[in-house]
Amino acid sequence: MKKKRKTVLIIAILAVILSLAVIFVIGLRLAPEKAFLKIMADKVDLQIKNVHYTEVGDSGMKWEITADTARYLKKENLALFEKVSVRVVMKDGGTFVMKGDQGRLHTESRDMEIDGNVGIVSGNGDHFTTDRLRYRNAARQIETDRPVAMENGNVRISGVGMIFHLDEKKLTLLSQIRASYGDTLRQGVPLRREGK
């Protein structure tokens, strides 16, 4: 009988220890999440990883946004993206892919800014690089006030400031424009090369 009591007592003690260990482990897992959610709740309404968002606008233009992470701030009507890529398909089928380190989408106006290592590739092979650009939805234009370079094949054009009207497919470089074709540089005067 004493042996039975000892066995029952040992089993009861082990059960209590095991229960406490399980509660402790679960408590450790839940505590950081609660703290994290509490910190986020004041500033971010929603945070998502590996985002893919598609929208077709009134004009027939289609947006596809992919990003490593997205945060939505409802009070500011703002979506923030990390490592963002925006593919725009025009009504006529023309495409533009804009990529950058960070993006900001103003959800009411549909205006967007992309910052950091910005690249744009058009469906016909034009490559643009800059460090910041803005998309203005009402005017359907992409613009920057920063240095920008465009390359397509052997042609390279650079300048400071750019406005690109998507509907008209009209590009305007605003200042300090330089162009090169192959190995020549033109700025109103051909480049003289030594030895020739």
DSSP codes of every residue in 11-57 = HHHHHHHHHHHHHHHHHHHHHHHHHHHHHHHHH-SEEEEEEEEEEE-
| Cβ atoms 150, 136 nearer than 8 A | no
Give the pLDDT mean for 180-187.
61
For 129, residues 6+ apart whose C-beta sits below 8 A from its C-beta are 118, 119, 120, 148, 149
The 10s digit of each residue's pLDDT in 90-134 is 888 888 899 999 999 998 888 999 999 999 888 888 899 999 999
Residue 179 has pLDDT above 70, yes or no: yes
Q: Of all residues in the chain, what percent carry a pLDDT higher than 70?
A: 69
| Residue type for position 91 | K
What is the model's pLDDT at position 99?
A: 94
* pLDDT tens digits along 52-105: 888 777 677 788 889 999 898 888 888 899 999 999 888 888 888 999 999 999
Whether residue 98 contacts residue 114, with contact meaning beta carbons closer than 8 Å, is answered with yes
Residues 14-41 have a mean pLDDT of 53
- Judged by average pLDDT, the poorest of 6-15, 127-136, 140-149 is 6-15
Whether the predicted pLDDT of 190 surpasses 50: no
Helix or strand or coil: residue 156?
strand
Question: Residues 165, 171, 172, 177: is their CA dihedral positive or negative?
Answer: positive
Percent of the chain with pLDDT over 90: 24
